[in-house]
C-alpha cells in the first residue's frame, strides 16, 4: 500500500526465529551425501536442450507480462497523481480519474526445473529486528521515564474508560464497537498485540489495543494531541486528593516529558517512525496501556480520521466500514474511497489505492477487487464479530 498509508494493518513485520546450526563435527554431511551423488546420472543432452527451450519460452512470457504489468501500475500512479492535483484545485473527481481494469495476472508457463545441478546462491546473513512486546514497552518506560503505566483492574474498566472518551469526543457507539470488532476480532483486550491473539505466539507488528495503534501512531498522537491529553488529565487531577492526586500529578509530569520528546522531531510520519523505533519511542507507546491516557490514544486514532474528513468538506457521518478504511489505509487514501459515490464504488478496482507490491501481498484486496466489494466484506466481518463477547461488552459500556 501507499507509503504513510498503512498504519495498523496489519500487514507487516514478523518476529525472527533464531536458527541453531549443528557443529560441523557432529554430522559429516558430505559423507552422507556421497553415495547418492556418486550414483546420480548426468542430465542427457536432450533433457538439457528441452530445458533451455522451456526456459526461453518462460522468460519471453514473463518479460511480456512484466511489460504489461509495469504499464498498468504506472497508469495507477499517474491517475493517483492526477486525482491529488484535482483535489488541490478543488475539482470534481470522475470515473475517468481511475484505472477501471483489473491488474494483469500472469498465466504463462512456470519456470522449468534445471536438470543440471546449480550452485547454491550465496546469501548474506539476514539480520532481523525483534518486535517490542508489552514487556519491552514497560521496561522502556521504566528506564527512560521512571514510570509504569497504570493498568486497569479489569478489562471492563478499560472498556468503560474508552467508551467515555469516545463518546465525549463525538464517536458513536456503532463506530467504536464495529471498528473494535474488525481490528481485534471481537474478543481483543486493551493490551492485545497483533500476532499475539487467538492462539498466536509471536508479535507481527507493534499494533496494540482496540484500534491497533502502532508505535508510530502513539508517537504522532502524543506529538499532535499531547497538550490536549495533558489538559484533560489536569482537569481530572483537580477533582482528586491525597495519593490519587499525587499519582495523577506524577503521570501528568511524565506525559509532558513525552510530549516534549515527541515534538522534538519534525511533525512528519517518517520522523515519528524513526523515533518510534527507539526505546524512547517504545516508552511513549507504553502509554497505550494506561487507564487514563490509553483510552485517549485509542479514541484519537479514530477521531483524527473523522476530523480529516470534515476538514476536506465531507460532512456526512462516516460509517464504521468507511472509518476503518481510513484507519487501515491512512486518511488521504481512505477518504478517496469514502467520498466515492456508490456507482463508482461498484466499478473502481481496489488496485487504484495500492502500490503493486502491497497489492500482490494482499489476498483480501485481490479477492474483493472493487471498492464496493472491499467495503462489503469489511461490513460483513464487523456484523459477525460484533456478536462476540468482547464487542458486546464494549457496546454495553457506552
Q: Which three cell numbers stand for residue 286?
A: 507504553
Spatial neighbors of 13 by CB under 8 A, at least 6 apart, are 129, 131, 204, 205
Provide the whole-model pTM.
Answer: 0.78
For 322-349, write each residue's pLDDT tens digit: 999 888 778 888 888 888 889 999 999 9
Q: What is the pLDDT along the chain (398 residues), one digit of tens a residue?
A: 333 443 434 333 322 222 223 333 333 333 333 444 444 568 898 999 999 999 999 999 999 999 999 999 999 999 999 998 998 898 989 999 999 999 999 999 999 999 988 777 777 776 667 899 999 999 999 999 999 999 999 999 999 999 999 999 999 999 999 999 999 999 999 999 998 876 677 888 999 999 999 999 999 999 999 999 999 999 999 999 999 999 999 999 999 999 999 999 999 999 999 999 999 999 999 999 999 999 999 999 999 999 999 988 888 889 999 999 888 778 888 888 888 889 999 999 999 998 898 899 888 889 999 999 999 999 999 999 999 999 999 999 99
Give the Å distances, CA to CA, from 367 to 32, 122, 363, 387.
Answer: 47, 36, 6, 25
Q: Answer whether 261's CB lies under 8 Å from 275's CB.
A: yes
In terms of Cα–Cα distance, which of 271, 298, 259 is closest to 4? 271
For 261-312, write each residue's pLDDT tens digit: 999 999 999 999 999 999 999 999 999 999 999 999 999 999 999 999 998 8
For 204-214, write each residue's pLDDT tens digit: 899 999 999 99
CA distance 387 to 378: 15
Q: Answer whether 2's CB lies under 8 Å from 355's CB.
A: yes
CA distance 395 to 156: 11
Amino acid at each position: 500500500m501507499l507509503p504513510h498509508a498503512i498504519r495498523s494493518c496489519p500487514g507487516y513485520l514478523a518476529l525472527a526465529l533464531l536458527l541453531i546450526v549443528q557443529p560441523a563435527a557432529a554430522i559429516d554431511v558430505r559423507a552422507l551425501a556421497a553415495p547418492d551423488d556418486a550414483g546420480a546420472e548426468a542430465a542427457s543432452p536432450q533433457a538439457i536442450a528441452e530445458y533451455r527451450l522451456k526456459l526461453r519460452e518462460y522468460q519471453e512470457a514473463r518479460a511480456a507480462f512484466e511489460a504489461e504489468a509495469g504499464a498498468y501500475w504506472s497508469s495507477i500512479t499517474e491517475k493517483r497523481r492526477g486525482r491529488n492535483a484535482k483535489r488541490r484545485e478543488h475539482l470534481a473527481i470522475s470515473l475517468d480519474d481511475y484505472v477501471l481494469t483489473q491488474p494483469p495476472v500472469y498465466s504463462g508457463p512456470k519456470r522449468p526445473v534445471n536438470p543440471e545441478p546449480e550452485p547454491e546462491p550465496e546469501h548474506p546473513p539476514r539480520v532481523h529486528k525483534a518486535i517490542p512486546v508489552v514487556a519491552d514497552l514497560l521496561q522502556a518506560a521504566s528506564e527512560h521515564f521512571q514510570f509504569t503505566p497504570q493498568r486497569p483492574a479489569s478489562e471492563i474498566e478499560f472498556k468503560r474508560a474508552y467508551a467515555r472518551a469516545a463518546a465525549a469526543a463525538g464517536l458513536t457507539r456503532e463506530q467504536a464497537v464495529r471498528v473494535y470488532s474488525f481490528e481485534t476480532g471481537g474478543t481483543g483486550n486493551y493490551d492485545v498485540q497483533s500476532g499475539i491473539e487467538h492462539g498466536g505466539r509471536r508479535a507481527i507488528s507493534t499494533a496494540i489495543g482496540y484500534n491497533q495503534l502502532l508505535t508510530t501512531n502513539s508517537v504522532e498522537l502524543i506529538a499532535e494531541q499531547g497538550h490536549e491529553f495533558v489538559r484533560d488529565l489536569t482537569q481530572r487531577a483537580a477533582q482528586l486528593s491525597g495519593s490519587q492526586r499525587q499519582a495523577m500529578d506524577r503521570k501528568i509530569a511524565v506525559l509532558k516529558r513525552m510530549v516534549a520528546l515527541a515534538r522534538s522531531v519534525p511533525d512528519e510520519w517518517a520522523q515519528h517512525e524513526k523515533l518510534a523505533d527507539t526505546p524512547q519511542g517504545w516508552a511513549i507507546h507504553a502509554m497505550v496501556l494506561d487507564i487514563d491516557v490509553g483510552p485517549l490514544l485509542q479514541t484519537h486514532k479514530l477521531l483524527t480520521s473523522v476530523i480529516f474528513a470534515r476538514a476536506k468538506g465531507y460532512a456526512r457521518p462516516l460509517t464504521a466500514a468507511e472509518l476503518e478504511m481510513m484507519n487501515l489505509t491512512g486518511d488521504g487514501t481512505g477518504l478517496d474511497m469514502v467520498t466515492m459515490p456508490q456507482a463508482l464504488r461498484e466499478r473502481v478496482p481496489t488496485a487504484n489505492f495500492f502500490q503493486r507490491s502491497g497489492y500482490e501481498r494482499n489476498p483480501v484486496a485481490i479477492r474483493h477487487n472493487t471498492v464496493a466489494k472491499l467495503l462489503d466484506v469489511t461490513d460483513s466481518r464487523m456484523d459477525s464479530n460484533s456478536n462476540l463477547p468482547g464487542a458486546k461488552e464494549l457496546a454495553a459500556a457506552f
